[in-house]
Amino acid sequence: MNLKRVVVTGIGALTPIGNTAEEFWSGLINGVSGAAPITRFDASLFKTQFACEIKNLDVEQFIDRKEARKMDPFTQYAMISVEEAMNDAGFDLEKIDKSRAGVIWGSGIGGLKTFQDEVKDFANGDGTPRFNPFFIPKMIADISAGFLSIKYGFRGPNFVTVSACASATNALIDAFNYIRLGKADIFISGGSEAAVTEAGIGGFNAMKALSQRNESPETASRPFDKDRDGFVLGEGAGALILEEYEHAKARGAKIYAELVGGGMTADAYHITAPHPEGLGASNVMEIALADANLKPEEIDYINVHGTSTPLGDVGETKAIQKVFGDHAYKLNISSTKSMTGHLLGAAGAIEAIASIFAIRNGIVPPTINHFTDDESFDPRLNLTFNKAQKREINYALSNTFGFGGHNCSVIFKKYN
């Protein structure tokens, strides 16, 4: 079958280290940490009192107040990031076939704040079941894609993928497959998450998943460091406009990169712990490479899942060494979660953007907060510690892995 080519023609980002794609990239290459004490609620009673929050955001600059009240923050973040991406893509919406334009979005949790607030209000009331009529529409994860399709009039495939921290990459792969099979021309894709709430922090604390480095939050996310003690919760959104190559070329679109391969696997091992030998992780990278018809030695950079957890970081590097062999030592590897924290279902979207900008600019963003070597990691691996590195990147691979054992990898190619 003659598969279509798929390119990225628009990018938008709303992150803890920048409220636009360019601000986000600047934060990455300058090694900026987005972690700070929580401002959304009183976190003094929680074991973890910091997170990577969005900063200096006035939602009403982007969304009408009445409309914004119908949206959980995760949907607001989606709308804001996609507006930037759509403006960047430069579509004339009157000239595209909207029946061949769709939205596939990702969110691991959806409207957590809405659910939390409504249940608290009910529990603190007199027992009368009074609920906001927007409770359900604000909470459900699919509503983000619904709002986006309504705003832009896109009538093609429309849904949200939910695969925990792999959700946004899952969404990108689904959109990629629809386009290359000829079933659509354009997709809005990516992911958003807004879990910095009492329920989010408390729930992840109960699992012992979060760092508790309250005395130094800016250094708490430290992938591959000997003293890593858990991930730092982040929030935000990343949006990519995926377009069929000939469609993009015909309208003279700016092209950032080409999406050439994707893979999805399951660990089939444990509900939260990764496979200790990285079995699902190695399989998913092999599948992505085969899908892109690439040899391992053609990859230049891997943006790893790299959450700063004791088990996850080790399993992923083992998987990389298994797949890439001696070429693993010629790769640049970095975890941008050291700066953004972990955006859960949105992580794959902003890390895809980081990978694309790394290709375009010939710069590998660093893994910051490395203080102490861990003998668990092969010292021959270039984990790009503490400082960005210049190198030509023709192919970049981005990994995202989620609770439940969900694994996704995508590969982007330099566009010439």
Note the pLDDT of residue 127: 85
Which of the residues 275, 305, 370, 406 is marked catalytic? 305
Of 247, 195, 185, 180, nearest to 52 by C-alpha is 195
Measured CA distances, 3 to 175, 253, 359, 398, 402 (Å): 14, 20, 24, 22, 29
Distance CA 329, CA 381 (A): 5
In the DSSP assignment, the letter for residue 18 is B
Q: What is the pLDDT of residues 202-231, one digit of tens each?
A: 999 999 999 999 999 999 999 999 999 999
| This prediction's pTM | 0.98
Which of the residues 52, 165, 275, 406 is marked catalytic? 165
Which of the residues 275, 342, 370, 406 is marked catalytic? 342
One digit per residue, the tens of pLDDT, for the chain of length 416 reads 799 999 999 999 999 999 999 999 999 999 999 999 999 999 999 999 999 999 999 999 999 999 999 999 999 999 999 999 999 999 999 999 999 999 999 999 999 999 999 999 999 988 888 899 999 999 999 999 999 999 999 999 999 999 999 999 999 999 999 999 999 999 999 999 999 999 999 999 999 999 999 999 999 999 999 999 999 999 999 999 999 999 999 999 999 999 999 999 999 999 988 888 889 999 999 999 999 999 999 999 999 999 999 999 999 999 999 999 999 999 999 999 999 999 999 999 999 999 999 999 999 999 999 999 999 999 999 999 999 999 999 999 999 999 999 999 999 999 98
Distance CA 29, CA 52 (A): 17
Q: Is position 305 annotated as part of the catalytic site?
A: yes
Q: Is position 165 annotated as part of the catalytic site?
A: yes
Distance CA 269, CA 280 (A): 9
Query: Where does 6-250 sit in CATH, by number?
Result: 3.40.47.10
Handedness of CA 140, 144, 147, 150 (dihedral sign): negative
362 torsion bin: left (phi>0), alpha (psi -120 to 50), beta (else): left
Which residue type is seen at 413?
A: K
Span(s) in the chain for CATH 3.40.47.10: 6-250, 265-414
Right CATH for 265-414 from 3.40.47.10, 1.10.10.60, 2.40.170.20, 3.40.50.620: 3.40.47.10
